[in-house]
Amino acid sequence: MFDKLLPYEVSHLILGAYFNYYHNFKGITKRAQIRFENKDWLGIQSDARLRLSLYRDAVGRTTEEVLELLGTQKDNKQVWKATKDYFTYEVKNFNTRNIAETFYNSVYRHSHKGLSADVDHMYVHATATYREFKSTDPINYTFDIDPDLKYTFKSILRRYRFDIPWEDLKRDVQYLQKTFESVILGRKISIADFQIEIIKSVFFRNKGAYIVGRLKSDKEVIPFVLPLLNRENGLFVDALLTDDRDVSSIFSYNRSYFLVDVDIASEMVDFLRSFLPSKSLGELYNSIGFEKHGKTVFYRDFLRHLAKSNDKFIEAPGIKGMVMHVFTLPSYNVVFKIIKDHFAPPKSVTQEEVKYRYELVNQHDRVGRMTDTHMFENLVFERGRFSENLLEQLIKDAPTKVQLSPEWVKIKHLYVEKKMTPLNMYLEDASWVDAEEVIDGYGYAIKEMAAVNIFPGDMLLKNFGVTRLKRVVFYDYDEIGFLTDYNFRIIPEPRNEEEEMSATPYFHVGPNDIFPEEFPRFLIGNPKLREIFYRLHGDLYHVKFWRDMQERLRRQEIVEVYPYRYHERFCEKYPEK
């Protein structure tokens, strides 16, 4: 090999690895429909986890191969600059150019341990809008809305081929017609002004398949989503979702990513954003499985925001955590969390255990009740954006993770997640109507996490947040564990007066023993709120709920948790007589 061509060879090694990664990514995604048809729910969940690990494994292998090929030139900046130039030339006409650039960034950073962003040798800023890449064949079907709505819905459903029979297609079409007519009447819009545009690829997650699209006119875009389920008697449409709240929840950052076949990710994201305008581009890339590029897009957006703002980072509102130091930028909708170097009693977890649990949540089904996070290493901020008081506290809490220079603050390891209002703070000013709604959500959050084999450990209100849509979400992971690992017990009756009056437990308590009848004493302090919780979710105070759920999980049952409001289901709207 000619020495001058070393950068060319390295760039093509990375490019070949990217092709292989993308091929495997799409292969896992494409088999989601087969698993859905076969009711292989465990297989779908396994594939969702496998696809997440695919990127990391590919980057790790590629980095080793690149460093071996570079040999003594591995630290030569000119070689790396030329490598990036060759890579840029090769991918400039790729329809997945943006994803390929992120893959290159990952290999470069893994080849340079301790590195922050490097503008000269990485794609820190976007090299294009990426909107110049469009499918020669549209990614969506377009339907005019026939006066005979049944004809329109039959036409839509027949576009999607499944190797399973419909349970009752005629019934589903009738339900779609009824629901659609009520939507049009409720919104007071003219059907004649709209077309229905439906993405050709089906979105799969857990037990559901989703036909995703929009009602579009010259003036308005309305979500249009059909959840499909496959049960004993075949395939059926479960709902028609046109409400922003339901559709936003389906694409929430608190849920696992979809398995959906995508050719041009930027084009898919643009389509989704047309009816999900409150979602950031990064969130939408995450939702369709491109988690690492979603992180890249978030970081670019964050840099742009820093450049056009001048407010300073502050301590995040709420009760200070014993494990994490949390700060935020008031003008930006995220919080930054650093693991403290030492935890005050009674916390007994280690830093590595905390990292493991955050990774566990990233890999697990978050069921809409556990917030997604991005982990960053060696993130650099301008020192002038921090108050000296905040810097002093960061150095005190995490001296091994925070480095200061006259100009910069470098944080070795931190998590970034969406900003929410802590539940305890939300309840301080909430009306009784809102309070009852979020207390109900708090109970459902605990139950739905249990349904995916997660026990939060510390269930205090301060560890839950309330989102923009008033959804209650858990965000403190340092004590979570698998529900099936715990022993839910009834407190034994005291054998005598001495035991009854004892200030300390008179019976053995193991490290994983949980006594649900103790929950009323510490979960909710306000008596009125405690009464609401008991009325709505009093079963959480009894071991029966927990043991029954453990038994279902041990049978490998996938417990039903719907990502849209239950009353939107056709079985609720149109109960059979």
Nearest by Cα to 254 from 396, 442, 467: 467
- The torsion angles phi and psi of 280, rounded to 5 degrees, stand at -75, 160
The secondary element (H helix, E strand) that includes residue 350 is: none
Helix axes 432-451, 527-537, angle to 10 degrees: 50
Contact status, residue 292 vs residue 53, Cβ threshold 8 Å? no
The secondary element (H helix, E strand) that includes residue 499 is: helix 497-500
**Catalytic pick among 47, 372, 397, 478:** 372
Here the tokens at position 539 are 């079963």
Active site (annotated) includes residue 372: yes
Q: In 71-218, which ranges are continuous DSSP H helix?
A: 77-91, 97-111, 149-158, 169-187
Chain centre to alpha carbon of residue 425: 24
Say if strands 513-514 and 472-474 run parallel, antiparallel, or are unpaired: unpaired
Other Cβ atoms within 10 Å of 11 Cβ, number: 22
The secondary element (H helix, E strand) that includes residue 481 is: strand 481-482
Which residue is associated with the tokens 């559901």?
A: 208
Q: DSSP letter string over 226-272? A: EEEEEETTEEEE---B--HHHHHHHT-TTSPPPB---S-HHHHHHHH
Here the tokens at position 81 are 């600059």
Give the residue numbers marked as catalytic.
Answer: 372
